[in-house]
Chains A and B, each alone.
Chain A
């Protein structure tokens, strides 16, 4: 039984933890929130100095090799600090789609600049996309960091394309978004010319599995931070002559957070491992991880506000960053009910 981090994985974890706690500070994140939700200096440092941006992309495609377990480790540590980075759309969804489904010219032309952070890609999924040859009409109202992207990977259920943000027929409208660390843009395509990815279904599967796992991992990191920060506060704040963390109602709520978080941790690394190993369980595991970890994060972030009292409701306190990110993760790439419905179909068959 080796369902535990290897030494190398532990090292990646420590490197990523140190990097994000040191650099993705509340102050810097808030500066990014006032702009387009990207801490540019952090992004460049992450992609270029740290050398972790290509993890999960094969070396022959220009990545750093390794797999979703390592990618999840990084997403977890980024999530713990609610880092303002376009990782999800660019490194996870778009890069995975191109690496899995692109031809060698596409990989060669696009991946190096995406992985170096020089180019930001956005991911547009529209199940009802209309196609006329290579001309695409449709779009998506909620493209993460879409306003900062110079390139989009567009998918429907059976096709995948690349489109430049400045191509004719593409309209990008940045939206004021509740989670300012990952603002959405509306991307509309009206007869925009897409360059097809050769292996569409491989691209879509890879992107979505990586996306579900990365969101779940981010949620895990966020949830753990909510717990850690609330525990620290509970030991420091005194009411009725006692540390508030000594009240049983308070303790039990924190214990419940830990119970959920430990399950979310199993979920994230089970799913990541299952995909990496090509296990039969992968299809189920990614839905389980995404829905479970997202719900865990939301519950922990909500409890964090409650257990801090008034200070937790202020703009100044970081609780709302977690709370808003948690809500966004719950709905991104399919809400919990949708993911559970997929699992229900796997275990019960379709409804008759």
Chain B
């Protein structure tokens, strides 16, 4: 049992840090330190392309698809240095963390050729259209319908329905959809996983304003929206399996690099506490110590998860990771406000716009909702981790 990374990995860390810092102090100086997902979308698309041009976009992918074939350790290191350098989050995170890996795992060779290089180059931005007004935690009850129309070489999918909470749909090129393609089917059966171009008449996107005043997510209306017949991943009716594979990606490796971003947030709170004197309050000191402990434990939990060589067993650290970080960050938001006091409740901007810490307080309420709510996580942990009986359904 060892804590650190190998000497070779540490050299790689230096290389990452040097390159990232150089970009952030030069051509992309203007986007350094942005934390809001919706800020400066055009510049951040340029940043995606810049990463792609220098092969830093999807380093874990095979070289032939625009990656570097980087090891897991190297991917973690890159993600850590990325956040440490103050580089804003990836606007194409659905493309690089969900769409790409899903295509890599389940896509055809043709789909790989078609999509992977463009995702890696930052040219194709994806969003995720899973949730619907009546299908949230109970995702398998989606109602959006898809049917194949036409014949011969001219078949295409025609999709009707409504998606909701679609993050960054307004700046995306493609949307990942799960649609019901078998008439009369129920639950996880009869669903198909589709990729659809957004720029078409059949798709209308309307922003939804969030509690922090920002509008990161959207309603997505699909009215005879179309995509070619070969836009499905996996087989017809296999959409649930593909979507669950994809959610596993979302819950796994992709969340690791976040931690350095969390480090930056906690450091900002520590600085604020020292500056305004809150650092002398014994209760605040206890809470900051708890936050510090929680952050370190997340790091070592993640390292445990990644050091695991036997992936056939359900690893406790992996199963509990989502709720752990989500709850930690929600508590961090509350701690930030406790440190700031009433000064945190006013903004010096003309619009309803917030600095990093008050925004953290508001935004972190979403962390315990998306990607499986805390309650759903507890169900999963109890059922998969502890072997307890499954929740009964009301409609069976």
Binding site for B on A (CB under 8 A): 1-6, 9, 69, 227, 231, 234-235, 242-243, 245-246, 248, 251-252, 254-256, 258-259, 261-263, 265-267, 269-270, 273-274, 277, 279, 281, 284-285, 288, 291-292, 337, 340-341, 343-344, 347-349, 351-352
Contact = CB atoms under 8 A, between A and B. Distances in A.
B280 A352 contact: yes
B235 interface: no
Contacts of B286: 337, 340-341, 344
Given A267-B300, A284-B296, A4 B289 contact: no
Contact of B382 (A251, A281, A337): A251
Given A256-B378, A348-B274, A351-B279, A1 B303 contact: yes
B387 interface: yes
A280 B161 CA distance: 56
Contact of B324 (A231, A259, A352): A259
A4 B293 CA distance: 20
Contact of A255 (B4, B378, B392): B378
A343 to B, nearest CB: 4
A266 B300 contact: yes
B297 A266 contact: yes
Interface stretch (B36-44, B89-97, B306-314): B306-314
A204 B223 CA distance: 73
Contact of B304 (A3, A245, A259): A3
A343 B382 contact: no
Contact of A270 (B273, B282, B297, B385): B297
A263 B300 CA distance: 9
B313 to A, nearest CB: 12
A275 to B, nearest CB: 11
A76 to B, nearest CB: 13
Interface stretch (B185-193, B226-234, B315-323): B315-323
B343 interface: no
A5 B1 CA distance: 5
30 contacts: A1-B73, A1-B76, A1-B307, A2-B2, A3-B1, A9-B1, A231-B388, A235-B387, A245-B389, A248-B391, A255-B377, A255-B386, A256-B378, A258-B320, A259-B324, A263-B294, A263-B301, A270-B3, A270-B300, A273-B1, A273-B2, A277-B3, A284-B296, A292-B293, A347-B288, A347-B292, A348-B279, A348-B285, A349-B274, A351-B282
A243 B381 contact: no
Which of B3, B72, B303, B324 is the most central at the interface, judged by chain A CB atoms within 10 Å of its CB?
B3
Interface size class, chain B: 35 or more
A4 B378 contact: no
Contacts of B307: 1-4
A292 B273 CA distance: 23
B386 A340 contact: no
A281 B3 CA distance: 10
Name the prevailing secondary structure of the B interface residues.
Answer: helix
Contacts of B134: none
Contacts of B323: 259
Contact of A251 (B288, B308, B378): B378
Contact of B3 (A235, A256, A274): A274
A86 B4 CA distance: 34
B270 interface: yes
Contact of A258 (B304, B375, B386): B386
Contacts of A235: 387-388
Given A3-B3, A352-B280, A291 B293 contact: yes
B125 to A, nearest CB: 31
B290 interface: yes
B356 interface: no
B370 interface: no
Given A2-B1, A3-B1, A262-B316, A351 B280 contact: yes
Contacts of B2: 2-3, 273, 277
Interface in B318-374: 319-320, 323-324
B1 A69 contact: yes
Given A246-B392, A262-B324, 15 more contacts: A5-B1, A246-B389, A262-B301, A263-B294, A263-B297, A267-B296, A269-B300, A273-B2, A284-B296, A288-B293, A340-B285, A340-B290, A341-B286, A344-B286, A348-B279
B5 interface: yes
B320 A231 contact: no
A4 B324 contact: no
Nearest to B392: A246
A234 B286 CA distance: 35
A124 B304 CA distance: 36
Given A4-B304, A259-B320, A265-B317, A347 B289 contact: yes
10 closest cross-chain pairs (CB), A and B: A340-B289, A344-B285, A251-B382, A246-B389, A255-B378, A255-B381, A266-B300, A343-B289, A4-B307, A3-B303
